[in-house]
Amino acid sequence: MREITHFIDGVSVAGTSGRYGDVFNPNTGEVQARVTLATAAELDAAVGSAVRAQQTWALVNPQRRARVMFEFKRLVEARMDELAELLSSEHGKVIADSKGDIQRGLEVIEFACGIPHALKGEYTEGAGPGIDVYSMRQPLGVAAGITPFNFPAMIPMWMFGIAIAVGNTFILKPSEKDPSVPVRLAELMMEAGAPKGVLNVVHGDKVAVDAILDHPDIKAVSFVGSSDIAHYVYSRGTANAKRVQAMGGAKNHGIILPDADLEQATKDIIGAAYGSAGERCMALPVVVPVGKTTADEVRERVLSELETLKVGVSTDAAAQYGPVVSGAHKQRVSDYIQMGVEEGAELVVDGRGFALQGYEKGFFIGPTLFDNVKPSMRTYQEEIFGPVLQIVRAETFEEALRLPSEHQYGNGVAIFTRNGRAAREFASRVNVGMVGINVPIPVPVAYHTFGGWKRSAFGDVNQHGMEGVRFYTKVKTITARWPEGAVEDSAFVIPTMR
């Protein structure tokens, strides 16, 4: 049995807890490896390594830190095929999706390559008589990231790329479901020239998470996962005086106005709802057609697309999505489908009976479609996180606008229309953090910022872009005067800028 170990102080470290998690091959349903789960003492050892490394790493000038990022980017690109295959073998997403996972992470690394510019402070000459005022951004120290299973390459790179580039060191606690790629990324970061201890990977469950949230030497924590756990991480971390950004769940809506290009909108929704088996926080699992005519046509177009949608193993180049990550998650999604039936939604296509010949024990779920879903239903209110699309019919623009605005989650939303005025009004008024206009998955580019509203995010600062730079640094402001001649008597007043 292959064992996946921690990566601490630049080397592989076997666990001592005697506790392990199973890592499955989702295509076959078989256990392919086991990952060691950390003790609080092992987490402490990783933090000790990070503290020692940070004292010298912070003194490296930004341009040299950027060169490490450039080399890391080159190494990851050179190993794209290897990393994508490894990612798919543990997660289950098809190879093309795995490459997209890695590429979207690399885009933040590209942003981090420009860190000398992003770290520049502000300067005011002559703010008062002979007084200059300037500011600088300095690293926090040791930061940590707790990342989910659905993007085992992208989200870690979103976090550690900027954190390390600004001069921090980093502790990564990836999902125990697909932990191999995060370890490989840490190895490549060392190969790129980062000193040992700059990036450590510690595997674990709640024991490791709590150790991160309680450790006095960890100054900032970034988290992505479910909303309940995000709230827990935010509450416990901030109670321990840490800076915390905790991204939670989502229920993203796709609003389709009658004037939309329905052919394009339907194809976009199919990809956004079923791609990566729906295991994306920016998936689009709810479609809201406005008006009966639009709804009926969208339903027929979706059904037509589903007839040609191919589900296959991760390595099948023709497959549009693969299995879900685990047997437990497959059961969870199946339970939500049954719940939808019991709540009275119309189950148009049921994917629970799907089986792939030769891979009958794999964690596959066929594409599932519900119509006439009501906002009062629990299956609408909660995140299913699987290949399930729900149609919620709206009579008017205002009703369609209210649905995502009043939902407990506010991660992303999309509107499909040819009407610029309607799109502008929708984008301005909708109570959601990220909006797509004829864009089904509105994940911002790396030099902008990612973050939802309401129960989709806890904390005041978003992921990556300049928001990421602000999250992983603290501002120091200096007011300086260089008096000439004799030293004057001490002044016991606040200096003013007259």
Please report, for residues 120, 131, 325, 434, 438, the alpha-carbon distance to residue 448 in angstroms, rounded to integers and kept in the order given. Answer: 18, 35, 30, 11, 19
Weakest-pLDDT range from 49-58, 213-222, 442-451: 442-451
Q: What angle do CA 261, 262, 263 make, to 5 degrees?
A: 95
Q: What integer is the mean pLDDT of 175-191?
A: 98
Nearest to residue 102, comparing CAs of 309, 66, 110? 110
218-224/11-13 β-pairing = unpaired
Distance between CA atoms of residues 176 and 155, nearest Å = 15
| Cβ neighbours of 17 (radius 10 Å) | 15
| Cβ neighbours of 222 (radius 10 Å) | 31
pLDDT band at 1 (very low <50, low <70, confident <90, very high): confident
Nearest to residue 32, comparing CAs of 1, 62, 76, 5? 1
pTM of the full structure: 0.95
Share of the chain above pLDDT 70, in %: 97
Distance between CA atoms of residues 134 and 192, nearest Å = 33
User: 3 forms bridges with which residues in the sheet?
Assistant: 34
Give the catalytic positions in this structure: 281
Distance of CA 188 to the CA centre of its chain: 21
Determine contact, residues 367/309, Cβ cutoff 8 Å: yes
Please check the confidence at residue 49 and state whether its pLDDT lies above 90. Answer: yes
Q: At what angle do helices 154-165 and 180-191 cross, to 10 degrees?
A: 30
Please check the confidence at residue 488 and state whether its pLDDT lies above 70. Answer: no
- The two most distant CA atoms of the chain are separated, in Å, by 91
| CA dihedral over 361, 308, 348, 333, signed as positive or negative | positive
Q: At what angle do helices 95-112 and 80-91 cross, to 10 degrees?
A: 120
Q: What angle do CA 371, 373, 377 make, to 5 degrees?
A: 150
Q: pLDDT tens-digit profile of 150-164?
A: 999 999 999 999 999
Please check the confidence at residue 492 and state whether its pLDDT lies above 60. Answer: no
Please check the confidence at residue 407 and state whether its pLDDT lies above 70. Answer: yes
pLDDT band at 450 (very low <50, low <70, confident <90, very high): very high
Distance of CA 227 to the CA centre of its chain: 13
Print the SS3 string covering the chain. CEEECEEECCEEECCCCCCEEEEEECCCCEEEEEEECCCHHHHHHHHHHHHHHHHHHCCCCHHHHHHHHHHHHHHHHHCHHHHHHHHHHHHCCCHHHHHHHHHHHHHHHHHHCCHHHHCCCCEEEEEECCEEEEEEEEECCEEEEECCCCCCCHHHHHHHHHHHHCCCEEEEECCCCCCHHHHHHHHHHHHCCCCCCCEEECCCCHHHHHHHHHCCCEEEEEEECCHHHHHHHHHHHHHCCCEEEEECCCCCEEEECCCCCHHHHHHHHHHHHHHHHHCCCCCCCEEEEECHHHHHHHHHHHHHHHCCCCECCCCCCCCCECCCCCHHHHHHHHHHHHHHHHHCCEEEECCCCCCCCCCCCCCCCCCEEEECCCCCCHHHHCCCCCCEEEECCECCHHHHHHHHHHCCEECEEEEECCCHHHHHHHHHHCCCCEEEECCCCCCCCCCCCECCEECCEECCCCECHHHHHHHCEEEEEEEEECCCCCCCCCCCCCCCCC
Please check the confidence at residue 349 and state whether its pLDDT lies above 60. Answer: yes
Please check the confidence at residue 490 and state whether its pLDDT lies above 90. Answer: no
Task: Specify burial of residue 421 (Cβ count, 10 A radius: 0-12, 13-18, 19+).
Answer: exposed
Weakest-pLDDT range from 118-132, 236-250, 324-338: 118-132
Q: What integer is the mean pLDDT of 367-387?
A: 98
User: 389 forms bridges with which residues in the sheet?
Assistant: 369
Nearest to residue 465, comparing CAs of 211, 194, 158? 158
Please check the confidence at residue 486 and state whether its pLDDT lies above 80. Answer: no
Q: What integer is the mean pLDDT of 239-245?
A: 98
Distance between CA atoms of residues 314 and 85, nearest Å = 8
